[in-house]
Structure formats: C-alpha cells, structure tokens
C-alpha cells in the first residue's frame, strides 16, 4: 500500500497563520486542506515576533490537525531579508573556502558579522560575474525555527515569501505579465517572472495604491498580474493572478477569499525561485 505524503505550505502573516496542504496525484495536485488561523494583533511588529506565546498557541492548535506524514515549507517574511550582489568566487576554490568567501562578502555588504547572518545565494544569469546573496538575521531565523520545532514542525525549506511568485507567472498563460504583485495589508510583494526571476517588497507607506506601486516599479497596470490578501476588486487594467489554478482538484468548502493563500499554495507545490 502506498501512503502519500501531504505537501504543506505555511505563511505566517502579522494577523493570520495561513496554510495549504496538497497531494500529488496522476492528474495533478489535489487540495487536501486549508487553514486560516487568526493571530492577536500584537504578535508581530514589522515582521518580527513580539509575542511568541501567541504564535506558539496558534501553531500548537494547527499541529494537532496535521497527519503524521507531511512535508512542510515555510515562508520567511520578505521584509526581513536583504539581497546584495557580490563578485562570483573563483571556481578553483573548494566548497568550504567558497562559502567562507561568500559569508564574508555578504557580511561586508550588510555591515554585519558573518555569525549574525543566515544566508543563501543564487546565480545571476544576466551577470555571471556576480552572485546574489539573500540574507536574514540569524537570530530571527532561529527564533522562528525554534517556535516551529517546539510544536514538532520541521520545515524542509524556509524561504522568503516573494520568492514563490516568479514561478506562478505560468498560471497567467497565454498572457505574459512583466510583473507579479501580491498585496498584503501593510506591504506589497512583487516579482519578475521568466528565466531571470527577481523579487522584493514595498512598504505600503511608500506606495499606498496599486497605481503608486506601478509608478515606483516602472510598469503599466496591464503588465501586472495581481493577487491580494485583502477583499478588494482587481485593479483596473491588471491581470488576475490566481494560484488556485495550479491545483487540478479542489475540495470544498473553499475559503471565501482565495487570494490570502497565494504564497502558501506556491510553497506547497514547491514553486520557489531563490
């Protein structure tokens, strides 16, 4: 007998815990379950946990509903990450020396000690002379992992939420948007799809409306595929970005507002670009 494993994407936002579980079947991805668990308003501040007891309580409630066999991918707050280009190390370096070089280069760029950083890197196809470093404060990464581990939750990956968006561009076919945007209450996630994906975030105080965001990112509304965690209409001219289209079989009841799960679905099915 084959026992299938649930693949679960978990996104923790300032006021909600959002998760989606899917299972791979012959005809495609099948939705198994979704969760939307509220968090008290004081749980996070600027993406940093301020009241861990609130988060732990919500995670404990959620953990009781999960099957024994599951694979978990978790979104790390994009606003708490930094990206910097650094010169590509010499290919003749062995792996430990290569990693030491990259850690030192990242720390120098961010004016921090290497021990203060958790980091990863990815190639920059448009400039092979450079590598892109993606970094976060080690203390914040460890705090999240500790809270998860306390509830027997051990993610196979921890990745910035915006890094999910580039691969979701394929859902917009036959349209080919230049930019993918996901709206949250206090910030925007954006990404460029294609062979050279890029991604980031913008504080809502810097771009209060969709039009403001388009101006800041130098795109026209009709070049943008849009999803939102808020109950709001599609901006005029924008294309819809519906992550639920990635699932071949849905299982009612479905959430009243599906846009809240864009990042969680992308994580669950493993569509992540670093």
Alpha carbon distances (Å) from 219 to 84, 105, 172, 237, 271: 23, 32, 17, 12, 24
Highest mean pLDDT among 26-30, 89-93, 96-100, 167-171: 26-30
**Closest C-alpha to 32, from 69, 74, 75:** 69
Each residue's pLDDT tens digit, 25-54: 888 999 999 999 999 989 998 888 999 999
b/e for 28-47, b at 16 or more Cβ within 10 A?
A: ebbbbebbeeebeeebbeeb
Kind and range of the H or E element at 149? helix 138-149
**pLDDT above 60 (res 274):** no
Stretch 77-101: mean pLDDT: 87
241-251 pLDDT per residue, tens? 999 999 999 98
Average pLDDT over residues 141-170: 94
Across the range 168-178, mean pLDDT stands at: 86
Owner of token pair 């494993």: 5
Q: Where are the domains of the chain?
A: 79-137, 165-241
Helix (H, G, I), strand (E, B) or coil at 17: strand
Burial of 225 (0-12, 13-18, 19+ CB in 10 A): buried
Q: N- to C-terminal Cα distance for the chain? A: 36
pLDDT at residue 153, rounded to an integer: 98
- For the chain, what is the mean pLDDT? 91
**What's residue 1's pLDDT?**
38
- CATH fold of 79-137 reads Dna Ligase; domain 1 (3.30.1490)
């Amino acid at each position: 007998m084959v026992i299938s494993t649930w693949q679960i994407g978990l996104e923790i936002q300032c006021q909600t815990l959002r998760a989606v579980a899917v299972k791979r079947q012959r005809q495609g991805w099948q939705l198994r379950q979704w969760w939307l668990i509220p968090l008290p308003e004081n749980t996070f501040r600027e993406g940093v946990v301020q009241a861990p007891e609130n988060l732990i309580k919500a995670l404990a409630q959620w953990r009781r509903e999960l099957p024994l066999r599951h694979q978990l991918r978790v979104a790390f707050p994009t606003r708490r990450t930094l990206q910097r280009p650094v010169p590509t190390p010499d290919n003749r370096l062995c792996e430990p020396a290569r990693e030491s070089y990259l850690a030192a280069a990242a720390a120098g760029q961010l004016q921090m000690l290497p021990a203060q950083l958790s980091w990863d890197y990815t190639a920059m196809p448009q400039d092979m002379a450079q590598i892109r470093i993606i970094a976060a404060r080690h203390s914040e990464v460890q705090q999240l992992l500790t809270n998860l581990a306390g509830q027997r939750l051990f993610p196979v990956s921890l990745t910035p939420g915006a890094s999910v968006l580039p691969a979701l561009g394929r859902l917009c076919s036959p349209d080919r948007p230049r930019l993918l945007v996901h709206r949250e209450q206090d910030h925007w996630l954006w990404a460029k799809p294609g062979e050279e994906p890029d991604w980031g975030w913008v504080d809502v105080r810097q771009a209060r409306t969709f039009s403001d965001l388009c101006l800041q990112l130098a795109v026209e509304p009709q070049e943008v595929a849009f999803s939102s965690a808020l109950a709001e209409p599609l901006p005029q001219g924008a294309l819809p970005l519906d992550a639920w289209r990635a699932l071949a079989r849905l299982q009612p009841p479905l959430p009243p507002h599906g846009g809240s799960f864009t990042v969680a679905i992308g994580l669950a099915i493993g569509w992540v670009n670093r």
